[in-house]
Copies of this chain bind each other. A is one copy, B any other.
Amino acid sequence: MEAKEISQAVIGRLPRYFRYLGELKDEGVERISSQELSGLMKVTASQIRQDFNNFGGFGQQGYGYNVEYLYREIGKILGLDKQHNFVIIGAGNLGRALGNYLNFERRGFIFKGMFDANPELVGKDVRGVKVMPMEQLESFIRENDIDIAVLTIPKTSAVEVADKLVANGIRAIWNFAHVDLNVPEGIQVENVHLSDSLMKLSYNINRYNSDIK
């Protein structure tokens, strides 16, 4: 399957397709048309067909999609048929929330280690994983086949930690620190800037209010 030219916008929509298809599968639905999926997901049927055409189409015109097949194929495209080991850096509430999230494991994301600079948190247990001191981070990543580092630390230390992660072979950073990271080409970064998201909400509240005045 050739997927070189696919835009991040299309990729950003794949997890949502995967989620809806998983729910349909769990409800025992076997086939679904792009029109029906369109109604559920509130995107146009033509958008759905266009998105799927990036990956060869998945279905026959007029006959609908096989839900289970489509679910599995989109899962493969998302790399969910492979195991990804991750560590969480920062054992505060957010780090612990992510460590405790069992759904990640169901998708092949395996929680392997947790690190914190605060000695009072070292040794604490998060779903069977003991919090380690930062000094052990670099060797742990090298020795435990870690793909993904989740950063739930303050922005003041995030840049330095990211550099160490990259130097020790990490391939991807899921960044919750409120700072943009500069990493070399080939290192994948996905940012979750919670404050930015809240400000966008605030904008939309105020905008709507001044529109209806």
Contact = CB atoms under 8 A, between A and B. Distances in A.
11 contacts: A15-B197, A41-B180, A42-B180, A77-B203, A78-B206, A79-B206, A93-B94, A94-B97, A96-B97, A109-B198, A147-B205
A14 interface: yes
The 9 tightest CB contacts between A and B, nearest first, are A93-B97, A79-B206, A15-B196, A94-B97, A15-B199, A79-B202, A190-B201, A188-B204, A78-B199
A194 interface: yes
Contact of A199 (B14, B82, B97): B14
Contacts of A96: 93, 97
A206 B82 contact: yes
A195 B77 contact: no
Most buried by B among A18, A96, A202, A212: A202
A200 interface: yes
A92 interface: yes
A69 interface: no
B79 A200 contact: no
Contact of A194 (B101, B172, B201, B206): B101
Nearest to A152: B97
Given A18-B199, A97-B97, A103-B195, A172 B205 contact: yes
A76 B143 CA distance: 49
B190 A204 contact: yes
A174 interface: yes
Interface string A166-202: 0000011010001010000010101011111111111
A107 B194 CA distance: 13
Contacts of A78: 199-200, 202-203, 206
Contact of A205 (B12, B188, B197): B188
B201 A174 contact: yes
A98 interface: yes
